Amino acid sequence: MTGKELKSLEEERSESRAKEQGGMSLKTKALLGIIGVIIIVLIVAFLTINVTTTAVSDSASFPYTTTYGVSFPEGETIAVGNSHILVLSYQNEMFADIDGDREKLVVGEDRVLSPRHARVTVLGIPAMETDFQITMKYKGVRENRSYFDLTVKTEKQFPDLLLRRLLPNEIDARPI
């Protein structure tokens, strides 16, 4: 063997030893970097999901339905979309103030909120839009919280993850 061949053979062996000892190739480092960037972009996108609601301009049909069991804290105003809801109960009756419209409900009675239009943005870019309507069925009071079955009807199929962004954490929404 010539000197060049020996030198080349030794270089290959030292590269192979470096890889065995935990050294990464440039391709592996680049791939890990790309995966890291993708993960960071996905996390930022998830954190910037924003749902805004406005009034509906025309009549819509609502073929898709999702129902949640929810509980509202007594005496606190909660925002669901752009609707502000305040509930107070006495025995089997509940007084609901929804956007300034006060109504008395008894256990088993429904309250239908006016239809709204929802727009979802991710990273400030519009991602999805639909019209929706919420129906609340009063179930009673337990432990200073008013319980309802909350039905969300939508014009288009809407992912549960996005519907849950519309509902605040204070109402403890759980799919039924």
Degrees (nearest 5) of the Cα angle 98, 102, 107? 90
Summarised one tens digit per residue, pLDDT across range 54-97 is 777 667 788 999 899 998 888 888 887 677 888 888 777 788 88
Candidates 119, 121, 127, 175; CA nearest to 152 is 175
- Cβ-Cβ contacts under 8 Å for 95 (sequence gap 6 or more): 87, 88, 89, 102, 103, 104, 105
pTM score, whole prediction = 0.65
Helix (H) or strand (E) holding 133: strand 125-142
DSSP 54-111: EE-SS-----EEEEEEEEEETT--EEETTEEEEEEEETTEEEEEETTEEEEEETT-EE
The residue among 74, 90, 65 whose CA lies nearest residue 150 is: 65
pLDDT tens for 106-146 read 888 898 888 888 888 888 888 888 888 889 898 888 888 88
Of 172, 162, 169, nearest to 53 by C-alpha is: 162
d(CA 84, CA 7): 78
DSSP 143: T
Contact between 72 and 85 under an 8 Å Cβ cutoff? The reply is yes
Model confidence pLDDT, tens digit, residues 31-56: 999 999 999 998 888 888 777 777 77
pLDDT of 15 strictly over 80: no
